[in-house]
Structure 1
Amino acid sequence: MKRVLLTGFDAFGGESINPSWEAVRQLDGMELQGHTVRSFKIPTVFHTSISRLKQYIDDVQPCLIICVGQAGGRSDITVERVAINMDDARIPDNEGQQPIDIPIVEGGPDAYFSTLPIKAVVNQLLAENIPASVSQTAGTFVCNHLFYGLMHILASQSPVATRGGFVHIPFVPQQSVKHRGQPSMSLETAVRGLRFAIMAAVNHERDIKKEDGALH
């Protein structure tokens, strides 16, 4: 049976949980559309996150990879379009590293685009009444770092046999209590969203044409 690799991060920035890991762990072992899901936790640490991801890719040999991260302040599930070759950390990672204006891969491409069917995923989530949108930036912290690292790993395959990309999910309600005024999404909804995201990605080798751009 084909395999899907999901990853979520451990808690960072003073949080006690990270909804990305809490969500993906609930999908571990699930069978969807003839694919088995394997979920793993990634440390919120520059470079170590990429090396850990590569280890999981080698072990699982997936045909589809979705890395998931926390995006406090966002109100919906956001499917990332592009990863940029730049670390610019506003806060330290979980080992105290805070790279500023440093390329992730020296001499690597300026950016990589997701190979997920990003608009098909968003369309599927909206059809299930789950708030979702395409995002044009994954930030410049460890989420973007891992996203770029993932796509750099996949780009080195010949031929490229695995598709991959990155998805952000909002705070869960227990986090928003501490961050008053910030939106949140129930963990149950986030899990459902990721499940439908996997199904949409499996069912669409090519993306759909649909307006979902940004004005700013």
Structure 2
Amino acid sequence: MANKKKVIVTGFEPFGEHAVNASWVAVQELDRIGLGEDVDLFVCEVPVEYQAVQTLLPSMWTEHQPRLVVHVGVSGLAKAVTLEQCGHNKGYRRLDNCCFSPESECCIEDGPECISSVLDMDSVCKRVSETASGTKVTVSKDAGRYLCDYTYYTSLFVGNGRAAFIHVPPLGKPYSSEDLGRALQAIITEMLSQLEGGHAPARCNHQGHQ
């Protein structure tokens, strides 16, 4: 159907102590249950590699022309499903799965310090929490200066803000893959609803940077 909304949702491959990456498990569960008949869902596992992200994301946006791209990552510190409002350009020193980090320590040379999603994550959080999905949802403005933040910033830059990032806790701490899949379904459905309402792109300057 030509009027279907194309949505891309990505998770990450295993890295570090995360021998099983809850983000990709959650995305696979979402792929199983879907986002409804009017959404054309495409899922992808992203390498935990800076250079792979630099190549993969722009081609993904160009090839699929999605309405929205949602990246999902795991955080060992997360106790709730966390909606990230913005991505950051600088501070990437931690080595990836190929023992590489960008020499410039940034995503996009001369890019803005911070880019905010066109989505209002506080509003998404409030609406999803009211549906009593059984999964705690919260909002953050710091995605961690590793591949999660790097991927988010790159996608926001390429997609003019029509991207989102969701951090999930490790499996069983406390949520199952089914819990996380249902939470992603509810959150992304709400994000699409908000997008249909029409929001102007916004630059994030919560740290006073331009």
Establish whether TM, by shorter chain, passes 0.5: yes
Mapping of 1:51-200 within 5 angstroms?
51-90=55-94, 92-99=95-102, 102-127=105-130, 128-155=133-160, 163-173=162-172, 183-200=173-190
Contact map agreement 1:63 1:163 (CA 8 A) in 2: yes
Measure, in 2, the Cα distance between the counterparts of 1:184 and 1:122.
19
Letter paired with 1:56: M
| CA deviation map 1:104-142 (0-9, x unaligned) | 111111110012231232123312232011112001001
Q: CA deviation at 1:31?
A: 4.0
Measure, in 1, the Cα distance between the counterparts of 2:21 and 2:54.
18
The alignment's C-alpha RMSD in Å is: 2.2
Deviates more, 1:54-63 or 1:108-117: 54-63
Measure, in 1, the Cα distance between the counterparts of 2:149 and 2:31.
23
Match of 1:159 in 2: none
TM-score by length of 2: 0.83
Q: CA deviation at 1:47?
A: 2.9
Distance 1:31 1:81, change over 3 A: closer
Contact map agreement 2:92 2:101 (CA 8 A) in 1: yes
Measure, in 2, the Cα distance between the counterparts of 1:50 and 1:88.
14
Deviates more, 1:21-30 or 1:76-85: 21-30
Measure, in 2, the Cα distance between the counterparts of 1:88 and 1:109.
15
Contact map agreement 1:77 1:170 (CA 8 A) in 2: yes
Question: Is it true that 1:202 corresponds to 2:192 in the alignment?
Answer: yes
Question: Is it true that 1:9 corresponds to 2:12 in the alignment?
Answer: yes
Q: CA deviation at 1:18?
A: 0.7
The DSSP-based 3-state class of the residue aligned with 2:182 is helix
Letter paired with 2:179: T
Distance 1:188 1:142, change over 3 A: same
Tell me, which stretches of 5 or more residues in structure 1 are unaligned? 156-161, 174-182, 209-216
Deviates more, 1:47-56 or 1:142-151: 47-56
Contact map agreement 1:77 1:133 (CA 8 A) in 2: yes
| CA deviation map 1:75-125 (0-9, x unaligned) | 0010001111113334x2111113477121111111100122312321233
Measure, in 2, the Cα distance between the counterparts of 1:63 and 1:6.
11
Measure, in 2, the Cα distance between the counterparts of 1:10 and 1:139.
17
TM-score by length of 1: 0.81
Question: Is it true that 1:18 corresponds to 2:21 in the alignment?
Answer: yes
Equivalent position to 2:45, from 41, 46, 49: 41
Letter paired with 1:95: C
Measure, in 2, the Cα distance between the counterparts of 1:136 and 1:27.
24
Distance 1:69 1:143, change over 3 A: same
Instruction: Give identity over the alignment, percent.
Output: 26
Measure, in 2, the Cα distance between the counterparts of 1:207 and 1:11.
36
The DSSP-based 3-state class of the residue aligned with 1:204 is helix
The DSSP-based 3-state class of the residue aligned with 1:75 is coil
Contact map agreement 2:35 2:185 (CA 8 A) in 1: no
